Amino acid sequence: MPDEVKSIAATRLAYPPSKSALGELAPSESRFWTGDHYNQGNFQEDIFDKAKEECGVFGVFGHPDAAGLSYYGLHALQHRGEESCGICTTEDETFNYHRGMGLVKEVFDRERLEALKGDRAIGHVRYSTSGSSKLANAQPLVFKYRDGDLAVCTNGNLVNEPIIRRELEEQGSIFQTSSDTEVIAHLIARSPKDLVDAVKDAFARLIGGYAFLIMTKDRLIAACDPNGFRPLVMGRLGDAYVFASETCAFETIGAEYVRDVEPGEILVLDKNGLREDRFAPMERRAVCAMEYIYFARPDSDIYQVNLHSARKRMGRHLALEAFVDADIVTGVPDSSISAAIGYAEQTGIPYELGLIKNKYTGRTFIQPSQELREKGVKMKLSAVRKVVEGKRVVMIDDSIVRGTTSLRIVNMLREAGATEVHVRISSPPFMNPCYYGIDTPNPRDLIANTKTVEEIRKAINADSLYFLSKNGLMEAVGKHEGEKNRGLCLSCFDHDYPTQVQFELAKTTSCSCD
Cβ atoms within 10 Å, residue 19: 7
Comparing CA positions, the residue from 231, 277, 235 lying closest to residue 256 is 235
Consult the annotation and say whether 434 binds a ligand: yes
With contact defined as beta carbons under 8 Å apart, do 182 and 138 qualify? Answer: no
Of 55, 88, 248, 511, the active-site residue reads: 55
Consult the annotation and say whether 406 binds a ligand: no
Comparing CA positions, the residue from 292, 236, 283, 289 lying closest to residue 259 is 236
Three-class SS of residue 179? Answer: coil
Q: What are the C-alpha distances in Å from 303 to residues 104, 166, 232?
A: 27, 36, 10
With contact defined as beta carbons under 8 Å apart, do 52 and 46 qualify? Answer: yes
H or E stretch covering 52: strand 52-53
Please enumerate in sequence order all residues whose Cβ is within 8 A of that of 479, keeping only pairs 6 or more positions apart, or say none: 303, 304, 305, 486, 487
Q: How far apart are CA 38 and CA 61, in angstroms?
A: 36
Consult the annotation and say whether 288 binds a ligand: yes
Q: How far apart are CA 281 and CA 68, in angstroms?
A: 35
With contact defined as beta carbons under 8 Å apart, do 57 and 232 qualify? Answer: yes
The one-letter amino acid code at 410 reads V
Phi, psi of 359, rounded to the nearest 5 degrees: -85, 0
Consult the annotation and say whether 489 binds a ligand: yes
Consult the annotation and say whether 153 binds a ligand: no
The one-letter amino acid code at 312 reads K
Between the two ends of the chain, the Cα-to-Cα distance in Å is: 28
H or E stretch covering 249: helix 248-253
Query: Given the DSSP bridges, would you call strands 287-288 and 256-260 parallel, antiparallel or unpaired?
Result: unpaired
Comparing CA positions, the residue from 114, 210, 124 lying closest to residue 160 is 210
Based on the residue annotation, tell me whether 55 is a catalytic residue of this protein.
yes
* DSSP state, residue 511: B
Cis bond before residue 231 (omega within 30° of 0):
no
Known binding-site residue numbers for [4Fe-4S] cluster:
288, 434, 489, 492
Known binding-site residue numbers:
288, 335, 397-398, 434, 489, 492
Known binding-site residue numbers for Mg(2+):
335, 397-398
Residues with catalytic roles: 55
